[in-house]
């Protein structure tokens, strides 16, 4: 779900919008859980730096170096996907989302 009006807080959404947003976040989480064989999914709705409703949905992987820590506290080297690898990942996510519709 993409809001075409500025919204910073969940309580600013009409109940049907809030329900749809949570359903969409849940679908994405389920797809990422399946694709990455996650042990857990973390959800973040912050908005301190970008004051607009947006979710961070983070699959916690079996080889997670600090599974009990919030992802924000764990130093890591970002992985930047490009080209064929990026397209393959996008295709996998889209396919998983179609299966969760």
In the structure, what pLDDT confidence band is assigned to residue 37 with cuts at 50, 70 and 90? very high
The angle at the Cα of 84, spanning 34 to 79, to the nearest 5 degrees, equals 65
- 4 has a pLDDT exceeding 80: no
Which superfamily does CATH assign the domain made up of 10-99 to? HIT-like (3.30.428.10)
pTM: 0.85
Show me where the domains of the chain are located: 10-99
What pLDDT is recorded for position 47? 83
């Amino acid at each position: 779900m993409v809001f075409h009006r500025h919204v910073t807080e969940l309580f600013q959404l009409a109940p049907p919008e809030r329900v749809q947003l949570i359903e969409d976040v849940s679908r994405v989480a389920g797809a990422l859980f399946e694709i990455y064989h996650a042990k857990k999914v973390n959800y973040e709705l912050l908005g301190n730096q970008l004051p607009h409703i947006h979710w961070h949905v983070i699959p916690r992987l079996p080889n997670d170096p600090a599974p009990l820590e919030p992802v924000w506290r764990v130093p890591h080297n970002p992985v930047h996907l490009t080209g064929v690898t990026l397209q393959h990942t996008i295709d996998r996510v889209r396919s998983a989302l179609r299966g969760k519709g």
